[in-house]
Amino acid sequence: WRRTESRRTMATGVRHGASIQWTRTRGSVLSCCSRSKTKAAPTFVDPSAGMRMKMKMKMRMRIPVACSSSSSSSSSVATVKEESSGSTGSAYVAGSTGRTGQRVVRELVDAGLKVKAGVRSSDKFRDTFDEILSSQDKATRLSYEMTSLEDAESLERGVSGADVVVCCLGAPEDEFNFDNPRRIDGDGTIALIDAAKASGTVEHFILVTSLGTGRFGWPASILNLFFGVLHHKRRAEEHLLASGLRYTIVRPGGMERPTDDYYKEHKMVVKGEDTQFGGQVSRTQVSWCVKECVLNPAVCENKVLELVTKEINPGKKKDEAKAFEEYDTSVIDQITKIKSAGDPTVVGSPAWYTAKYAYTPSKLDALVRAMGFK
């Protein structure tokens, strides 16, 4: 009988000796407030009604509701939404004034992110991003940090506070310096990875390297004639894989010839690790891919992406080919289909076994492969 009476109380708020009103308070705790000392007459209620009300109230408790009258409630809902989406708030871009890096910076600023650019010259920073700095809205989202690849403290200042690091470092082709690939593509990038690892804030590291770093072959192997640049880029990739950071490695094809309008007649193709041996892609298309990796870390983490293009309507003449006039929205769909390489620092994982028992070629074998003879 007591149990039945208890259910009747939950369902109706009425019991002998008092009239009860149930109200909801913060934390979804039920409290009762005495309204009257008048004895209320008991009424018959379906015993299952109380349980139905309980279930209804539990469902309401799970759904956050933003109230316009309460700023704290709406802010808490926004916070939950932001955390669940895994969005990125700030990025550090190394090599930001280079031909690829500056396009990446523009894409990220346009996407609403706060971007810190790593530069060697403040004047070049202002000249390169004059359009952004002239905009009242965008200028507040772009800053810079003077850095040197040989100065660990400057790199630590650069990555400090960033959620993601994008590395677009690369030895300039117009500088005839034998040591540049080792110093920039190799040791410099490795130092940046170490700074990101030590920062405690960087959750994702995106490294832009080159097609052919994993498997040398023609025509990619011709790059190794440029003082072993692919060898040093591969050193940086391996260091990132072993760092324990969540990573995305972007390997674009040839970027020298395609212009920024290249995408209008050539659609980007994103493939998995060591599947492409040649091809071209524009720097604009590379920046699109990098932006998708920054904005969708859960989809892109621990993946190696190789970027080339295919001609749109290749059977038609060039002037008759259908132009691709808008941003390529298929990029993120292509990335989603690529299988994650996994974290090689997790002992016993497939990626760990792959890294542990990877074939290490002899110096002669490496030379033969680099020249494209094997």
pLDDT value for 31: 41
**Predicted confidence band of residue 94 (pLDDT cuts 50, 70, 90):** very high
What is the per-residue pLDDT across 301-336, written as a single tens digit (0 to 9) for each?
999 999 999 988 766 555 554 555 556 778 899 999
**Predicted confidence band of residue 222 (pLDDT cuts 50, 70, 90):** low
Long-range (24+ apart) CB contacts under 8 A made by 315-323 are 318/265, 321/265, 323/264, 323/265
Average pLDDT over residues 335-361: 70
Q: Is the pLDDT of residue 356 over 70?
A: no
Residue type, 153: E
pLDDT winner (highest mean) among 6-10, 195-199, 272-276 = 195-199
- Beta-sheet strands, E only, within 181-265: 204-208, 246-252
Higher confidence at residue 329 or residue 110? 110
The three-state secondary structure class of 311 is: strand
What is the reported pTM? 0.69
**Predicted confidence band of residue 368 (pLDDT cuts 50, 70, 90):** low
**Predicted confidence band of residue 288 (pLDDT cuts 50, 70, 90):** very high
- Write the DSSP symbol of residue 181: I
pLDDT value for 354: 62
Long-range (24+ apart) CB contacts under 8 A made by 344-353 are 344/241, 344/242, 345/242, 345/243, 345/244, 351/241, 351/302
pLDDT value for 349: 66
**Predicted confidence band of residue 277 (pLDDT cuts 50, 70, 90):** confident
- DSSP of 75-137: HHHHHHHHHHHT---EEEEETTTSHHHHHHHHHHHHTT-EEEEEES-HHHHHHHTHHHHT-HH
- Write the DSSP symbol of residue 267: E
β 18-24/30-36 pair status: antiparallel
Q: Is the pLDDT of residue 115 over 50?
A: yes
Higher confidence at residue 82 or residue 165? 165
